[in-house]
Amino acid sequence: MIYKFMRLIVFFDLPMNSKKEVKIYARFRKWLIENGYIMMQYSVYSKIFSNRDACVKHIPILKRIVPKQGQIRIMMITEKQYAGIEIIVGGMSNQEKLISVEPFVSL
């Protein structure tokens, strides 16, 4: 079987007007990190999957934990498309640098 690596990108804009909203934001962000997402930039996280099926199966899990307020969008792209992202200003985040050096290992 040929694996075509996929990326799931999560874009979110959550309200942070009260302590409760800040806590919800922090909990969501922490969940993303604990579940293998890397920060591309503020409020934009991505996770690599070994194939499209694995990526599609992860979406309902993500939908169950998203906060009810704010705006959250997801986009699924191939690893080849992800590699074609151009950084115009600045550079890769430290997490992205680590991932680009370490090859993806599938269990």
- Summarised one tens digit per residue, pLDDT across range 16-75 is 999 999 999 999 999 999 999 999 989 999 999 999 999 999 999 999 999 999 999 999
Check whether 107 has a pLDDT greater than 50: no
Taking the whole predicted model, whether its pTM rises above 0.85 is answered as no
CATH of domain 6-101: 3.30.70.240
Positive or negative CA dihedral for 13, 63, 79, 92? positive
Q: Which band of pLDDT confidence, cut at 50, 70 and 90, is reported for residue 83?
A: confident
pLDDT at site 101: 52
Which residues contact residue 53 at a Cβ distance below 8 angstroms, ignoring those fewer than 6 apart? none
Which residues contact residue 100 at a Cβ distance below 8 angstroms, ignoring those fewer than 6 apart? 92
Q: Which band of pLDDT confidence, cut at 50, 70 and 90, is reported for residue 3?
A: low
Cα torsion through 38, 40, 45, 46, rounded to 10: -70
